[in-house]
Amino acid sequence: MQEIARGSIVEHYNAPAIASTLVKGHQGRRPRKHWWISEPVAEAITVAESVSSHPRRVFATLTPRAVNEELDGGAMVDSFIACVNAGGTWSGLAQIPKGKVRPHMFRRTMAMLTDQFAGSEIALGMQLKHIATRALANRATRGYAAPDPGWAEHLENAVHAARFRRLKDLYEVHGRGQDIGFGSAAERLKGVFDQITATVKARHGDARVEMDLLRKARITIRFGTLNNCLFDERSPAGAVCLENAVVPEGHSGPLEDRCRPDRCPNSMITAEHAPLYEAHHRTQLNLLQTPGLPACRKALITREAERAEAVLYKIRGTTP
């Protein structure tokens, strides 16, 4: 985009395209290339060209110091970070850690995270603005989402850090005497928390010792929308999702698409999950009032209502 000059919209093989120079991987000579675009993109660039104040470029800084001045995305990001860190005292924003940050990293990180979900390639193509005739026709989209060892390690570390922060929050809530969740898995977690607290008192430890013990407790927990799963790969027996299941080769951990929060001993229901089950239960009961329901459909709705009700029984501390 930074290299797009005025008059770059052309036709290439009877389709709208941008004629510009290829910068990536060419430090010296920059070959002229064509990139196919859609009609809305061509219209957007035409509008941008009409409002641009730069004599040659369509996209440029608001106050260009030279006609041929190039935008430096890296320098712009560095300047932004420096500005945020310098104004932390009045903005209240946390300091952005030191390290190399470049614009493409945001696209790559988002693509790698999104690629974990169904229909990701279509969504990524739309988000990254990759134009393709067919949903799976653009190799650029897959390139962004392709796994990379360095990035994977960074993301894994970030996930572990986020998980521990949430686990620490649960520990503090339990320490204040409040309920952290319901079900047998919640009771197991409370027992681990109580053991850590007792150990800290016996050692006359401080908060640092407490956090060290919490890290070393090796609590396996997955925070989810339907429940928090305490599946332990070292002791998978009893996991309902693995009952009579064909586990894919190389897979480790629970099978999330077979999760049964209503009856799995690894399922921990919290107050955050309760509104979802209450709404789902009401919806199923309302559907049962629909006149003329086929018997198979009625049986399916009844089963869903019973599953939601079983979770609600856990929350209320009652039995069906």
What does each of the 320 residues of the chain score in pLDDT, given as a tens digit?
A: 777 888 899 988 888 888 888 776 666 677 788 888 888 888 999 999 998 888 888 887 666 665 556 667 788 889 889 999 999 888 888 888 888 888 777 777 777 767 666 566 667 776 666 665 544 446 666 666 666 666 667 666 667 777 888 899 999 999 999 989 998 899 999 999 999 999 988 988 888 888 888 888 888 888 888 899 999 888 888 899 988 888 888 888 888 888 899 889 999 999 889 999 999 999 999 999 999 989 999 999 999 999 999 999 888 876 55
- How many Cα atoms occupy the beta-carbon half-sphere of 250 within 13 Å? 0
Q: In the prediction, which pLDDT does 266 show?
A: 93
What's the Cα-to-Cα distance from 89 to each of 64, 93, 98, 99, rounded to whole Å? Answer: 31, 8, 18, 21
Q: Which H/E stretch holds residue 65?
A: none
Q: In the prediction, which pLDDT does 64 show?
A: 61
Q: How many structural domains does the chain have?
A: 4
Q: In the prediction, which pLDDT does 37 show?
A: 82
Q: In the prediction, which pLDDT does 46 show?
A: 92
Same domain, 79 and 123: yes
Q: In the prediction, which pLDDT does 56 show?
A: 82
Same domain, 164 and 240: yes
- The structure tokens listed for 87 are 């104004």
Same domain, 191 and 284: no
**Shortest CA distance to 289 belongs to which of 297, 315, 193?**
297
Q: In the prediction, which pLDDT does 135 show?
A: 46
Same domain, 162 and 202: yes
Non-local CB neighbours of 57 within 8 Å, separated by 6+ positions: 2, 4, 5, 6, 64
Position 237 in a domain: yes
Domain boundary residue, one of 126, 148, 170: 148
Q: Which domain holds residue 93?
A: 73-148
Same domain, 179 and 263: yes
Q: In the prediction, which pLDDT does 248 show?
A: 83
Going through 203-264 in order, the beta strands assigned E by DSSP cover 222-223, 228-229
Same domain, 137 and 229: no
Decide: pTM greater than 0.85: no
Phi/psi zone of residue 18: left (φ > 0), alpha (ψ -120 to 50 degrees), beta? beta
Domain boundary residue, one of 148, 163, 191: 148
Position 1 in a domain: yes
* Degrees to nearest 5, angle at CA 177 with 171 and 182: 75
Same domain, 164 and 229: yes
Same domain, 77 and 20: no
Q: In the prediction, which pLDDT does 138 show?
A: 61
